Chains A and B, each alone.
Chain A
Amino acid sequence: MAAVAGGAPPEAAAGALPDWFAAKKRRTRPNLIVHRWVPIALVGAPVLVLFGIVVYPTVWMFYHAFQNTNMMRLFRGNWSFVGWENFHAVLTSERFWDSVQHLAQYLVFGACLQVALAAVLALTLYEVVRRDWVRVVVLIVLVLPMMLPPSIVGVLWKFLLTPSNGAINAALLHLGLIDEHIEWFNAGMSLWSIIIADVWNWTALPLLIIYSGRVSLPPAVYEAARVDGASGWLVLRRITLPMLKEVIAIAFIIRFMDAFKFVDLVYVMTSGGPAQSSELPTYIAFQRGIREFEVSEAAAYAIIIFAFSAILITLFLRYLKKVLKAQGIA
């Protein structure tokens, strides 16, 4: 929080934990609630909306994952139960496993690389840059790409990476790093192009998270380390990194969760092609479901993705509860 604001101390950095949900202990004074159902009604409205637009569709999806539904059957209402057949079809298709491989490539060279880069950049910014206003300006500039509409990011990078006369190829040629134009959108490179655009777009997210984590570490510990004459390297390895462990884990989990949603750059930059070489599972689910009307196969994809996300989200919420309470960030 204080990170971007420019150095104000984070609220409740230590000690006073905002344990909002346990605020009821000392309440003997008259209750402010007029009616028992007032809070229920207030919370009920959004919960009902979420049931309508999230829970119901999800249940629908689970149901149809075990039917042989497609567009025609859906409108005639004559689908029938087929058991695990859809999952079998998905798990034995080459297209699925190719997309899993693409996802793995994206996770390693997109998500993980972003967090690693972000950690280096964030700690450099905090430890090496001295002036406060420089830090703020640098942070604002670094975060700008994140604020762009994804479709503009996709178009912009498609343009920058145009093989014949794009800026990147021209710049690389000019600097003498390559001898001939790189074909950024052929089967071997298209996924890499998407990853490059994504790294540009989203590295700032883990960077902000790690930076604000570092800002909220108690200065007293560093003071003590300085008095004891610990070297910068030792402080980094023994104090900063261990204390940032959870924050860095959160950055990883957030990027991994996003990876299962990540699809807009695929649509804008390559449409999964050429020859399905840049398809991710999420992209196939949308294509099969909404473009090709194979509803039940899309449902099977969705459930596989859903399962992985559920694991990550559970993990994330556990960390989030801990860190939110410990740092009072939110």
Chain B
Amino acid sequence: MSDSSYRLVRGLLLAFLGLWLLLTLFPFYWQIITALKDAAETNRTIPTFWPEVWHPENFKLVFAERSNLQALIDSFVIATGNTLASLVLGTLAGYAFARFPRQAGGENLAFWILSNRMFPPVAVLVPMFFLFDATPWGTDSHLSLIILYLVFNMPLATWLMMVFFRDAPRELEEAAYLDGYTPIKAFFKVTLPLVLPGMISVAMLCWIFAWNEYLFANLFVGTAVKTFTIVIPTFTHGSQTLWNLQMAFSLIAMLPPLVLFIVLRRYMVRGLSLGVVKG
């Protein structure tokens, strides 16, 4: 290929990349400016691409409705509860897989645990709906979602923790034994501090998935407990959709995962390469 046509191809590819960047950013741009318009301006026949009057107070107005704040609280409780449970279970199992692979069941068991995250949740959700219905707390509760989200978060936590424990040198642990530490003390004083940074990133990752989850929440809760993910799609005021408030609310709700993502982008691809990003 000649030099000039080679340069042309590169230029075209770069232009395509630039265009794709713009297309990626445009919905965010539209979301932000809509959140700052007033209701009348969002309903114009010809939409404005720059707000005529700025209404930053929309972000406060969202919380005039108590239930919106409550939805964020519900989501927070569920996401945090599930993260803690996934982390405890995942850390212990990950440790066992890393340190005693054969005694803990080996490769096949580890991959079986991982595969639970990949199967479509249809086969699980319909039965679980009827099973939880028969329990005292019912389907419409924090606890039901905290338990259900283990389906996708616990395998992830197990695998990532296994990887982190693998990277932590076992010699340190052995030295601690020689110094007379009990295994439990050695685990908490020596090994756990080594994997703590990894553990925090796993916690954040699990928290994002639980915070963002929509499908399980949509099917299981909705009256006593409402996560923001099911409030936002049904965000209406009387008969009218207040797009500006809806966009303001969604901006507030998506801020935590975006911030966490930027913090832990280094670890993101580990989760990705396990093929398990989607909940």
Residues in chain A within 8 A of chain B (CB atoms): 1, 3-5, 18, 20-21, 23-24, 29, 32-34, 36, 38-40, 42-43, 45-47, 49-50, 53-54, 56-58, 60-61, 64, 74, 117, 120-121, 124-125, 128-129, 138, 140-152, 154-157, 159-160, 164-167, 170, 200, 205, 208-209, 212, 231-233, 250, 253-254, 257-258, 260-261, 263-264, 267-268, 282, 285-286, 289-290, 295, 298-299, 301-303, 305-306, 309-310, 313, 316-317, 320-321, 323-324, 329-330
Contacts and interface: CB of A to CB of B under 8 A. Distances in A.
Contact of A330 (B14, B92, B274): B274
A125 B104 contact: no
B95 interface: yes
B272 A167 contact: no
A128 B10 contact: yes
28 contacts: A1-B269, A4-B266, A5-B265, A20-B101, A29-B174, A36-B103, A43-B93, A46-B113, A60-B127, A128-B14, A143-B265, A144-B24, A147-B254, A148-B254, A150-B212, A155-B250, A159-B30, A159-B243, A160-B30, A167-B49, A231-B6, A232-B1, A264-B215, A286-B215, A295-B126, A298-B122, A306-B119, A316-B275
Given A5-B266, A149-B214, A151-B229, A57 B123 contact: yes
Interface residues of B, number: 113
A148 B275 contact: no
Contacts of B120: 260-261, 282, 302, 305-306, 309
Kindly list the 7 A-B residue pairs having the minimum CB-CB distance in the complex, ordered from nearest.
A289-B126, A42-B96, A57-B127, A149-B212, A39-B100, A39-B104, A124-B13
Interface stretch (B53-61, B62-70, B148-156): B148-156
A261 B261 contact: no
B50 interface: no
Interface string B192-229: 00000000000000001001111100110000000011
Contacts of B137: none
B119 A40 contact: no
A32 B99 contact: yes
B102 interface: yes
A330 B163 contact: yes
B130 A329 contact: no
Contacts of B113: 46-47, 50
